[in-house]
Amino acid sequence: MTHDPNCIFCKIVAGQIPSKKVFEDEDLIVFHDIHPWAPVHILIVPKAHIVSHAELTEEHQALAGKMMVLAPRLMKELGVTGGFRTVINTGRDGGQEVMHLHMHVMGGPRPWSKG
């Protein structure tokens, strides 16, 4: 499994930085965002250091599918019943701040909604 010693998410995966963990298995770690945009805002992060969504290849299909299937399950477990939003920012121009693939999953009242 690839790892970047300077990556904050790799440090969370390694247990060097604490997180409010929601889920973990051999492939993924899921934790609450430290700057939430919604009442429930989690990050689904592969344990392997993949820089961005643009770097996914056919070899990552199972991992990407696992992330997509896990999102609704965790939202349900966290009490989100009225829907949720998934966002994957890709690259600097796409708003990606941490250069390690991650999926934001946000549920509850939508502060980004206008009206």
Residue 104 lies in a domain: no
pTM of the predicted protein model: 0.93
Counting the structural domains of the chain, the total is 1
Q: Tens digits of per-residue pLDDT, 75-115?
A: 999 999 999 999 999 999 999 999 999 999 999 866 556 55
Residue 107 lies in a domain: no
Q: What is the CATH number of the domain that holds 74?
A: 3.30.428.10
Residue 47 lies in a domain: yes
The confidence band for 3, taking pLDDT boundaries of 50, 70 and 90, is: confident
Residue 25 lies in a domain: yes
Cβ neighbours of residue 36 under 8 Å, at least 6 residues apart?
Answer: 106
C-alpha–C-alpha distance, residues 14 and 105, integer Å? 22
Residue 76 lies in a domain: yes
Domain span at 45: 8-99
Residue 105 lies in a domain: no
Q: Which residues face 59 on adjacent strands?
A: none
**In the prediction, which pLDDT does 113 show?**
63
Positions marked active-site:
102
Q: Tens digits of per-residue pLDDT, 11-45?
A: 999 999 999 999 999 999 999 999 999 999 999 99
Q: Does residue 38 come out as left (phi exceeding 0), alpha (psi in the -120 to 50 range) or beta?
A: beta
Residue 106 lies in a domain: no
